[in-house]
A = this chain, B = another copy of it.
Amino acid sequence: MALTGVLRPGHVALRVLELEPALKHYTEVLGLIETARDDKGRVYLKAWDEHDHHSVVLREADSPGMDYMGFRVDSGRTLEWLAQEVEQSGLASDFQWIPAGEHPRTGVRFRFTIPTGHAIELFADKDKLGCLTGDSNPDPWPDDLRGMAPSRFDHCLLYGDDLDGTVRLFRDVLGFTLAEEVVAGPGKMMIGAFLTCSNKAHDIAFIRHAEKNKFHHASFNLDNWGEVLKAADIISKKDVSLDIGPTRHGITRGATIYFFDPSGNRNEVFSGGYIHYPDKPTITWTDNELGKAIFYHDRKLNDAFLNVLT
């Protein structure tokens, strides 16, 4: 009851060209905490306010990008049932059960490929390390944070071709609602979809794009607009490659800044937005206001934002 089924984005697995500069970026610039390494050389990280063992997984590879994104569901029973629903939906392929322990301290994961070509996982079990402030008489924030220090991994934006199929899968099978959409042309074709399984404005988002399985960004949550300025300053102090910001999205109202990890994977830190409910009407953006939808202040799209993908 209340919050059931798919609970939240649980992890994003990213490929980086060189592990050490990437780790330096994710721990010192972004400010995540390393929690484990495995025998395949993967590094596991979490944000300070997350309880689960990890939310970001890095591995060295020849090209950057996203391997897969995983969602935590509320129970093993839900995992089995949703796996079955996904298999039977006709909207996914490449079904695979990853055994428990393949991610450290994590139970079995059900992996599948969605119509836009991305690998998505569902899982029900991951050990809780606890957040840095603890669960007994906690302070509001911990000491010794580094970098931007987001509280949580929040969502990903992914690009791919069969947007309609992916949206159908998330809405009809996985129980997400469509918080916002961008439509274009006389036929009002959906070109952007912002989907949520929670009170957040988005837990995953997609843009229609000719190529399958492209990664736009992984986003992390900051507390407020002042933290966005601090993040912007850190980007310059540490000579990180900036994409755009500080600014505001029309979509979701979030205050935001985009930048790149040393391998060219885009990161976002953002704050704000409304409280979503499943009975809230979907917000629709039309292509004549597309600039405002994406960057509310500039009101125009920049090429890098649209075309630099990994």
Within 21-57 of A, Cβ neighbours of B (below 8 Å) are at 49, 51
Q: Is the CB of B250 within 8 A of A140?
A: yes
Closest to A241 in B: B299
> A286: which B residues are within 8 A, CB to CB?
136-137
A217: min CB distance to chain B, Å: 17
Closest to A288 in B: B137
Within 1-34 of A, Cβ neighbours of B (below 8 Å) are at 1-8
User: CA separation between A1 and B177, bound complex, in Å?
Assistant: 10
- State which size class the interface on A falls in: 35 or more
A24: min CB distance to chain B, Å: 15
> A2: which B residues are within 8 A, CB to CB?
3-6, 174-177, 196-198, 278
> A305: which B residues are within 8 A, CB to CB?
none
Q: Is the CB of A274 within 8 A of B151?
A: yes
Q: Which of A90-98, A106-114, A223-231 contacts B (4 or more CB under 8 A)?
A: A223-231
User: How many identical subunits does the complex contain?
Assistant: 4
Q: Mark A167-195, 1 if CB is under 8 A from B, else 0.
A: 00000001111000000000000000000
A142: min CB distance to chain B, Å: 9
- The verdict on A298 contacting chain B, using a C-beta distance below 8 Å, is yes
- The verdict on A80 contacting chain B, using a C-beta distance below 8 Å, is no
User: CA separation between A97 and B278, bound complex, in Å?
Assistant: 25
- The verdict on A63 contacting chain B, using a C-beta distance below 8 Å, is no
> A245: which B residues are within 8 A, CB to CB?
297
Q: Is the CB of A139 within 8 A of B233?
A: yes
> A89: which B residues are within 8 A, CB to CB?
none
Q: Is the CB of B174 within 8 A of A1?
A: yes
A residues contacting B by CB (< 8 A) are 1-8, 49, 51, 72, 74, 128, 130, 135-141, 143, 151-152, 174-177, 196-200, 221, 223-226, 229, 232-233, 235-237, 242, 245-248, 250, 253, 255, 257, 272, 274-275, 277-286, 289, 292-293, 296-299
